[in-house]
Chain A
């Protein structure tokens, strides 16, 4: 009988705060027990700006999640994002001692240590360091170097770091609920675990989590994380553009965007109008569909363009194309726009491969919190792929000590 563990994933998003409770079975399956969700206030561009409001909303979401799942939540995996998070790839080269020619575990550790020892800004802290591959005597893409005969061993790492204070803020906010933060995860890393399957990672793919406040991306090349990042632009920007273009307030612009918005403005019949209704269903105005779509298109294209600018050099190797997830990926026409921007196959995807109330969770807006469960599971089972992710206790201790 496989032992199962229950995890809770918490994403404090710009649009919504979402707590997902899931059961991870030893055999790798995940069963979602319940989801609690509350609209988010006091978050801008993926970062907390108003503690009190966030905590109120978070409590809300938490209570709902506990209700639905019938689980008492004490520990959560916290997803963070924000423009301050950066990534880089680094290699650590370790030369084996003269009298030894077989790679041992110690050597691997040593090379990892060297690779992880990167200069980052002083106020930054490491969020993840993910092994991409080992290079043994110049031979690339070695997964398992131990036991090989070699002279030099290089560990190739993908390192994600962010500003300590800002990450700490999110943690503090959650701690005050009180909830214990088990680990802090960069959102797209979590989301990619459920959005991208092994094949997509292997062939090379770019996952975009197009959220309300930020666009987070992960790029996989040959099964290795090659680039990650966060662009502080998102659905809210689209909404704001609409609000300012039509001089309507934010809420109405948001509704208009969700109900009618599309990036396809060229095929719109000239002069086609959309009715804008108030809360009582009375028509209070009309807007031109072509104009609305154009405003949306310009912004969407710009945001995607920003992502493209950052991953330009890797675009050639993405056989599996672009995977779009997150709330904005539900918008009409965005796949076409993304195809236009990246020139690659575009797939809209929610999370796959979980059981439970599946219908709900294929929705791309839950990719990240479900991904957090998956991430927890991977971390727990210590798959070689994610094993180097620093242990929870150590990282937390680090954070605490430093602050």
Chain B
């Protein structure tokens, strides 16, 4: 640990000289480099690497490197990634020479072609081996470019993933589609380049510029951490009055974000606000508030704030997030109501971030070992970095490159690091869902089995003065059996639930029976049982106070006590039911229950008033309100 601290100290000293290199590979890559060169916005070594000497000649990049001179003789790879790779391998030494001595290497590449898909992975690997942090900005080909290019791009991506610390993917399709269906094709490509160059610039600034609230590579990685993720990127800069709002507006205008609509589904969002020295806290507040409207509440916002005197009077906002490709495809058109289910589905892959997160962690470990940069990561996420560092102390590089190192992942999950910590959220959200699931079962049964009234009239019970509805509750179920794990809870619940009412012998009988698997469905009907007294009391109360729906919410303590047992069981069972859950988590805000609860109205347009789906039985909603 002492050693570790010392490393950090040393790095702090040389921090100002963070050396960045931007490499453009292939045609698309060098276009991006051209753009960055003309914009002169990034303080970095710019290198264009190409196999085709003619293209390379046209490039205005300050540094150029012709790949595989002997092999290719200045001719392009002709769309063959193998050739591209060969070429890069031939020029291995030159590449290393160029890249050596940089702390951070950005590789911008257009995938699908020969040089891009072939050489980029090799270059990334070399870059990695120099000990730098490697970020890859890759453009995925347009659909019309054909299947072959798409496959090549995919293969290249897989390779790139192995050596890149972060992979920022741009889908050309999206950019083209959203922005300029009618404009010239050249413009489409140019725009794609512009966007990439903009993001290179933004990311460089973010990672290198000093920050008040610092965002590090770790944050970037976690913002992008989605399986098969596509980058949502927005950048806006504005001056003058209202510059905050304006900048945000421009950032949201980015085609990749689709007017902010796509942010609705993002689980992590990185926001970086940079301003000149005149940046005020109100401006930042306003920006974040406005952004909040585009982002669901449960999205993790990674906020960064920097002051860059170079910006002068202007203020820039950068938004970075990622959505999985499939999601993008499905969401881009039909947004609307179905937003709610999406987060749940997405949440599933996250806790086990497939191949990416181990890599990123390896990365930290290795970069620490190499003593390069990494101070910002350390600042922002000490725990993870520490863990990684600890993990990396004994092992030689060989270990670091093992594709799946098991220990980093648990570390990430267990520690509530400042970096996004997805796990607690899902758990929290399952609880309310749980309630829905139980109801759904009710509704299902109600549809499938028609005659359930029969058991209701069990005169025995009535004599004992048990509430009728409770009898219904006990007698209703005949459907599927539940996991035995739930049984005990069921028993508890009944005990607690009935005691205040009438702790009579009949009830006890019921408990004994419940011990058997057959009667488990009691749980399903339980909500019904619980319902009655609430309704009784509340409605009477409501009437005395006022007749408005709002007034029906009083939550006297007595009722709360009475219902806690039911609630707790709900919480205790999520594991058993979670897999079956497909219902939206959105009922946090709305009182929407499951689709099934809407009964005959389930295929119709919901009648939602003030967040309540009025198609769901009134009594059900009232009870739900009370439980909260």
Seen from chain A, the residues whose Cβ lies within 8 Å of a Cβ on chain B are: 44-45, 47, 49, 83, 231-233, 236-237, 240-241, 243-250, 252, 271, 273, 276, 278, 283-288, 291, 294-295, 297-299, 301-302, 305-306, 340-341
Contact = CB atoms under 8 A, between A and B. Distances in A.
B414 interface: no
B506 to A, nearest CB: 16
B614 A233 contact: yes
A49 B603 contact: yes
The 3 closest A-B pairs by CB, nearest first: A285-B453, A241-B617, A298-B618
B600 A44 contact: yes
Contacts of B615: 233, 237, 240
Nearest to A283: B457
Given A250-B600, A291-B469, A341-B547, A244 B607 contact: no
A246 B453 contact: yes
Contacts of A248: 446, 450-453
Interface string B599-622: 111011101010000110111101
B603 A302 contact: no
Interface in B579-628: 597, 599-601, 603-605, 607, 609, 614-615, 617-620, 622
A134 B258 CA distance: 47
A148 B476 CA distance: 74
Nearest to B452: A247
Given A245-B528, A285-B457, A341-B547, A298 B446 contact: no
Contact of A249 (B450, B532, B549, B620): B450
Contacts of A44: 600-601, 603-604
A247 B455 CA distance: 11
Contacts of B454: 284-285
A297 B536 CA distance: 12
8 contacts: A44-B601, A232-B604, A240-B600, A247-B446, A285-B453, A286-B456, A287-B468, A305-B549
B446 A243 contact: yes
A287 B617 contact: no
A243 B619 CA distance: 12
Nearest to A231: B607
A240 B622 contact: no
Contact of A305 (B547, B599, B622): B547
Nearest to B445: A247
Contact of A298 (B452, B532, B539): B539
A301 B538 CA distance: 14
A284 B618 CA distance: 26
B472 interface: yes
A107 to B, nearest CB: 42
A390 B260 CA distance: 42
B600 A244 contact: no
Contacts of B597: 244
Given A45-B605, A287-B453, A287-B468, A295 B547 contact: no
Interface residues of B, number: 44
A284 B453 contact: yes
B618 A294 contact: no
A232 B608 CA distance: 10
B273 interface: no
A261 B622 CA distance: 20
A233 B453 contact: no
Given A248-B446, A283-B457, 20 more contacts: A49-B604, A233-B607, A236-B600, A237-B617, A241-B617, A244-B599, A245-B619, A247-B442, A247-B472, A247-B476, A248-B450, A250-B600, A273-B468, A278-B451, A286-B468, A294-B536, A295-B618, A302-B549, A340-B547, A341-B547
A301 to B, nearest CB: 7
Contacts of B525: 247
Interface string B447-475: 10011111111000010000011001000
B442 A244 contact: yes
Most A CB atoms within 10 A — which of B445, B450, B451, B453? B453
Contacts of A49: 603-604
Interface in B313-360: none
Contacts of B468: 273, 286-288, 291
Nearest to A82: B605
B600 A291 contact: no
Nearest to B610: A309
Most A CB atoms within 10 A — which of B443, B601, B618? B618
A252 B442 contact: no
Contacts of A273: 462, 468
B453 A83 contact: no
Contacts of B505: none
Contacts of A243: 446, 599
B442 A302 contact: no
B548 interface: yes
A345 B601 CA distance: 33
Nearest to B540: A266
A288 B604 CA distance: 31
Nearest to A45: B604
Given A240-B599, A241-B617, A83 B607 contact: yes
Contacts of B601: 44-45, 236-237, 240
Contacts of A284: 451, 453-454, 457
B452 to A, nearest CB: 4
B609 A306 contact: yes
B535 interface: yes
B446 A287 contact: no
A47 B604 CA distance: 9
B619 A247 contact: no
Contacts of A291: 468-469, 532
Contacts of A83: 605, 607
Nearest to B476: A247
Nearest to B525: A247
Contacts of B532: 291
Contact of B539 (A249, A252, A294): A294
B462 to A, nearest CB: 8
B164 to A, nearest CB: 46
Contacts of B531: 245
A287 B528 CA distance: 14
A67 B318 CA distance: 73
A244 B618 contact: no
Contact of A287 (B451, B456, B476, B535): B456
Contact of B453 (A45, A250, A252, A288): A252
Nearest to A286: B457
B525 to A, nearest CB: 7
A237 B614 contact: yes
Nearest to A301: B547
Contact of A246 (B472, B600, B603): B472
A302 B450 contact: no
